[in-house]
Amino acid sequence: MHPILKLLVQRIALSLLLLLAASAMIFIGTQILPGDVAQSILGQSATPESLANLRAELGLNEPALTRYFDWLFGALQGDLGTALTNGRDIAESLGARLKNTLFLAFWAAVISVPLAIFLGLLAVRYQNRWPDKLISAVTLTSISIPEFLIGYVLMYFISVKLGWFTSVSTIYDSMSLGEKLSAIALPVTVLTLVVLAHMMRMTRAAILNVMQSAYIETAELKGLSMFNIIRKHAFPNAIAPIVNVVMLNLAYLVVGVVVVEVVFVYPGMGQYLVDHVSKRDVPVVQACGLIFAAVYIGLNMVADIVSILANPRLRHPK
């Protein structure tokens, strides 16, 4: 088997095993939560007979291993179960929520990824000069401030004081694209500020590491400008670590939006998860956790595969 094909198969198999382990951890985590699901559904006034009947109906009397494999096989077939609080199909409810979360993450990525790469290249071009120091200072500040605090500050000044955008980012299918973009402007800004710093600093570090190579010195001796050296020699050879950090931050945009969605009351998966955690709706928590784990592991797998394909030593082993 070709070395690159072997590495790809290994990465995919490892990702599937990791997802299986994540599903087991999610199931165990929901089972050890304090309290009784049946009691939380029926309330404190429920009789022992009604509690026993509801536990039997929910399958809570079955062994934990049996319940885990029933849930896992159902999830593999697209059946995520039924919400305990409203009796609705979880997969159907999650469809619209996941669409909204991906919509938010997509526009945040469209802005943050090109901007991060551009700022990283700019910082390298003017290394140790005022543009580099200014970019580093701003990105370090954005990393140090929690997302919810950035969200509330932007909400106060931009929405309340200036009145430019709404503070509640609610979107509907009947809204036009422009109306949706106006509604999500503040959460997109928060997500961009959070992930931009990580991607920019990794881009800068990766290119500076390549700039110490011998072929960069040769290009300088040949009289090439710094811009052409970075564009033709440094950036293409630093693409692998940049792709890795971009994929990790794209995974964060999908998985880590819970706080941002709650702050702006955005109808995405994060808000849906928090609402049902407070109601102790275990099947919904399990379904959301599994989807978040699958997205995070999947994007990390894509990052590994792209890094392998971008490595000339793996593409041409001879």
- Per-residue pLDDT in tens (0 to 9) along the chain, 318 residues: 666 777 778 778 888 888 888 888 877 777 776 666 666 666 666 677 776 776 676 666 667 677 777 777 777 777 777 776 666 777 777 777 888 888 888 888 888 888 887 887 787 777 778 877 888 788 777 777 777 788 788 888 887 777 777 777 777 777 777 777 887 888 888 888 888 877 787 777 777 777 777 766 677 677 777 667 766 666 666 666 777 777 777 777 777 677 787 788 788 777 777 777 766 777 777 788 888 888 888 877 877 777 777 666 555 555
**What is the per-residue pLDDT for 60?**
66
**What is the per-residue pLDDT for 201?**
78
Enumerate the domain spans of the chain.
Answer: 91-284
**What is the per-residue pLDDT for 314?**
57
**What is the per-residue pLDDT for 77?**
76
Place of tokens 């200072």: 137
- The yes or no reply on domain 91-284 and CATH 1.10.1740.10 is no
**What is the per-residue pLDDT for 312?**
60
What is the spatial distance between Cα 143 and Cα 146, in angstroms, rounded to a whole number?
A: 8
DSSP sequence for the chain? --HHHHHHHHHHHHHHHHHHHHHHHHHHHHHTSSS-HHHHHH-TT--HHHHHHHHHHHTTTS-HHHHHHHHHHHHHTT---B-TTT--BHHHHHHHHHHHHHHHHHHHHHHHHHHHHHHHHHHHHTTTSHHHHHHHHHHHHHHHS-HHHHHHHHIIIIIIIS-SS-SS----TTS-HHHHHHHTHHHHHHHHHHHHHHHHHHHHHHHHHHTTSHHHHHHHHTT--HHHHIIIIIHHHTHHHHHHHHHHHHHHHHHTTHHHHHHTT--SHHHHHHHHHHTT-HHHHHHHHHHHHHHHHHHHHHHHHHHHHT-HHHHS--
Cβ atoms < 10 Å from Cβ of 49: 8
Place of tokens 């609402």: 275
What is the spatial distance between Cα 51 and Cα 38, in angstroms, rounded to a whole number?
A: 6
**What is the per-residue pLDDT for 76?**
77
